[in-house]
Amino acid sequence: MNQTLELNAEKRYLNLPVKNGAARRWVSLIVDGRIERDFEIELADGNPDWWAFVDLAPFKGRTMTVRVDDLPADSTALKAIEQSDTINGGENIYRETLRPQFHFTARRGWNNDPNGLVYYKGEYHMFFQHNPYGWNWGNMHWGHAVSPDLVHWTELDEAIRPDKFGTIFSGSAVVDEANTAGFAKGQDKTIVCIYTAAGGTSRSSVGVPFSQCLAYSTDRGRTWTKYDKNPVLPHIAASNRDPKVIWYAHAKKWVMALYLDGSDYAFFDSPDLKIWRRICDVKLEGDGECPEFFEISVAGSTGEMRWVFYGGKGMYLIGRFDGMKFTPESGPHQLNFGNCFHASQTFNGVPAGRRILVPWGQVALPDMPFNQMLGFPIELSLRTTEEGLRLFALPVREVQILRSKKHSWKDVMLKPGENLLSGINGELFDMTVEFAPGMAEAGFCIRGMTVGYDATKQELICGDKRAAVAPRDGKVRLRLLVDRVSIDIFANDGRVYMPMQFQPKVGAPALDLYCKGGGTRIVSLEVNEMRPAWGK
């Protein structure tokens, strides 16, 4: 039976008790006869595992009906729903035992793909696939966070919520500098989000196909309005989705890359973000979903540019684009070699031509009121190698903001059984080592996880992942960013990028620098202890 609760929205939050694995119930928040929020949730009877919340700020002072469908008459779940000026359990937010300390995580619920990465007026906007009401995937919204420096993030309220066209799947965002869409009001430029409405993924969109829609903000991303003539790109094929839109300045038009099905993608152009024309198709064997498309300079050259196209796994093509057709010259190449990377996207509009990427960091976080994370931002460069042009990846320089205590060594001969790092404790590190491995195996053991280099095979190894890394002048250089449940590994100044998730081993030493099969000359070693980014 359906049960209801009447309340006057007087406080900031409506707290909802969640029991992971409980029966899923539909909850509707009804104001003035209109459903303002509608979602599935595993409501708890008895002690909850955690508390989800709804921000009541838009409804303050108004009467609201909370309706729970198919709730048994003897359930206590509805009675447990309560208003408060704080999030239940909020005193522990960012302090939880498995909370990553400089990788972004949502305050509550599930997250996956980064969406709508865009820079405007000193702020980085990062949207993300978000289920605010569950530990698992579902109820897809666009969560939203902003940062002045790519390191310290402030989570805002949900930006885009499900509607009659479906839940909100992945997409991108642009700043409409020339007001081509005509949405502008006041002095601020309009931020426009282009997203997939995933028809058929909610009860209000049964029978509706996937399509592409717009939402926009005229107040620097603080409030959002959906375009009243959505969708702007009707259904084409299968679960067509994940539009990546850029401004193509040479022809003063917008260009969209869209995933169709299998390994097939299509390109479209538009003068105003509202009317789209298909201009060419691209096939990317071995990949799918979440296209990314950008122009990047060739490092060390003057004015030489290429275009890069890649999919959800990060398999990329390098080529040229004339405004109507993308012509690959090489690829697909592999961007990442780890187990904690999917559906990455790069920021639009970053000053000085920087190309900054954020992936979905795939890591399960059991017994937490949140699940999954976003990868730490990395900066891409396109460099000439013995194999041709390739993307290199390194952490954004802003990570240095978090460094605290520094330890360093130079020209040390490490012997088997020795550990230079035995006196260092902690969880968070930014480490760089350059070593001459000879014929030995050398590397780090970090709270039970080994990051090693096998000199005989010339391979970087972590868990079940491997990547070829050839010494340069007899030396190998590794950079590691260590967070509570992840290690981002960069070899030879970004030639290899291996983001890894791991579960720390209880009681294991914080750090061990080891070698096997002979001594290893440590040319230089720097270990920076890190502060949390959350400021808590």
Catalytic residues: 113
| Order of strands across the sheet that contains 241-248 | 241-248, 253-261, 264-270, 277-283
CB 420 within 8 A of CB 513: yes
Residue 487 class from Cβ within 10 Å (0-12 exposed, 13-18 middle, 19+ buried)?
Answer: buried
In angstroms, the CA 2 to CA 73 distance is 9
In angstroms, the CA 97 to CA 531 distance is 16
In angstroms, the CA 531 to CA 348 distance is 28
CB 526 within 8 A of CB 408: yes
Encoded tokens for 380: 């891409």
- Residue 387 CB partners (closer than 8 Å, separation 6+): none
CB 523 within 8 A of CB 435: yes
Residue 474 class from Cβ within 10 Å (0-12 exposed, 13-18 middle, 19+ buried)?
Answer: exposed
Q: What is the DSSP string of 141-197?
A: EEEEEEESSSSS-EEEEEEE--BTTBEEEEEEEEEETT-TTS---SSSPEEEEEEEE
In angstroms, the CA 324 to CA 436 distance is 49
Q: Which residues of 500-533 are buried (b: 16+ CB within 10 A; e: fewer)?
A: bbbeeeeeeebbbbbbeeebbbbbebbbbbbebb
Encoded tokens for 512: 């061990």
CB 190 within 8 A of CB 225: no
β-pair partners for 208? none
